[in-house]
Structure 1
Amino acid sequence: MVGNKLIMVAASAITVDEAIAIRSLSLFIIFQI
Structure 2
Amino acid sequence: METLKKHLPISGPEGVAELNKIAVRFEEKIYTAATSQ
TM over 0.5: yes
Give the AA of the match of 1:20. Answer: A
* C-alpha RMSD of matched pairs (Å): 2.3
* Secondary structure, counterpart of 2:11 in structure 1: coil
| Identity percentage of aligned residues | 7
Matched length: 28
After TM superposition, the score normalised by the length of structure 1 is 0.60
Gaps of at least 5 residues in structure 1 are: none
Q: Whose radius of gyration is greater, 1 or 2? A: 2
**Taking CA–CA contacts closer than 8 Å with sequence separation of 6 or more, which of the two structures ends up with the larger relative contact order?**
2
After TM superposition, the score normalised by the length of structure 2 is 0.56
2-side partners of 1:4 and 1:14: how far apart?
13
